[in-house]
């Protein structure tokens, strides 16, 4: 498997918005829910979870799109409308789910978990090590992040 190198940089389809990641991901995943199918125009969305203070928009002004909800805010390039990242939560616990295909190099990316397999297209499979019919229960995240971090540490 390819290794990631920090900082990681990325951009939308047209290049008007650029982002930067300065710390290793907390978790990686794929989501098969029908909402992600619609927003990604694909079988599933991909996410790299990053703590909010390790992520920055270095160019451009992304705009809210998607569900315009309070819990998860979906950010898009104002010009090309690429779905770039999602901000979840607020304060110290806030984190960002970046779509890894925005990165200059996404070759290191493998989804560690997959969610909403209950809604997946029949043929859609991923190499995720943990599968959930919906989202993992909240209390599972700490253990998942610990296991993911441990495996990343062993790879490096
Ligand atoms: Zn763009
Ligand atoms: Zn989803």
Query: The domain spanning residue 76 has which CATH number?
Result: 3.90.1590.10
CB 149 within 8 A of CB 35: no
Residue 25 lies in a domain: yes
Ligand lying closest to the C-alpha of residue 61: 1
Whole-number Å distance between alpha carbons of 104 and 101? 8
Residue 85 lies in a domain: yes
Q: State the total domains in the chain.
A: 1
Which domain, by its residues, includes 143?
8-155
Reference 144, options 36, 54, 25; nearest CA is 25
Whole-number Å distance between alpha carbons of 50 and 95? 6
Distances (CA, A) of 102 to 53, 82, 95: 19, 9, 17
> Who has greater pLDDT, 14 or 70?
14
Q: Measured in angstroms, how far is the CA atom of residue 32 from the centroid of ligand 2?
A: 6
Q: Measured in angstroms, how far is the CA atom of residue 73 from the centroid of ligand 1?
A: 17
The residues placing their C-beta within 5 Å of ligand 1, an ion, are 12, 14, 16, 77, 79-80
Q: Measured in angstroms, how far is the CA atom of residue 39 from the centroid of ligand 1?
A: 15
* pLDDT for the residue numbered 69: 84
Residue 99 lies in a domain: yes
Q: Measured in angstroms, how far is the CA atom of residue 81 from the centroid of ligand 1?
A: 6
Q: Which residues contact 138 (CB under 8 A, 6 or more apart)?
A: none
* pLDDT for the residue numbered 93: 82
User: What number of other Cβ atoms are within 10 A of residue 47's Cβ?
Assistant: 25
CB 61 within 8 A of CB 44: no
Whole-number Å distance between alpha carbons of 119 and 33? 5
Q: What is the pLDDT of residues 96-149, one digit of tens each?
A: 999 999 999 999 999 999 999 999 999 999 999 999 999 999 899 999 999 999
Residue 87 lies in a domain: yes
Q: What is the pTM of this model?
A: 0.94
Distances (CA, A) of 93 to 26, 58, 66, 73, 143: 12, 22, 22, 15, 16
Ligand lying closest to the C-alpha of residue 36: 2
Q: Measured in angstroms, how far is the CA atom of residue 84 from the centroid of ligand 1?
A: 9
Ligand lying closest to the C-alpha of residue 10: 1
CB 43 within 8 A of CB 30: no
């Amino acid at each position: 498997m390819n290794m990631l190198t920090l900082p990681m940089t990325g951009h939308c389809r047209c290049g008007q918005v650029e982002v930067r990641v300065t710390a290793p991901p907390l978790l990686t995943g794929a989501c098969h829910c029908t909402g992600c199918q619609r927003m990604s125009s694909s079988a599933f969305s991909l996410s790299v979870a990053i703590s909010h203070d390790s992520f920055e928009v270095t160019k451009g002004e992304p705009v809210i799109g998607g569900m315009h909800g309070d819990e998860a805010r979906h950010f898009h390039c104002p010009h090309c409308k690429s779905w770039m990242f999602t901000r979840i939560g607020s304060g110290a616990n806030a984190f960002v789910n970046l779509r890894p295909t925005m990165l200059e190099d996404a070759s290191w990316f493998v989804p560690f978990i997959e969610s909403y397999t209950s809604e997946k297209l029949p043929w859609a499979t991923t190499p995720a090590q943990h599968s959930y019919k919906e989202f993992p229960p909240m209390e599972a995240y700490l253990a998942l992040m610990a296991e993911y971090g441990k495996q990343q540490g062993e790879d490096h």
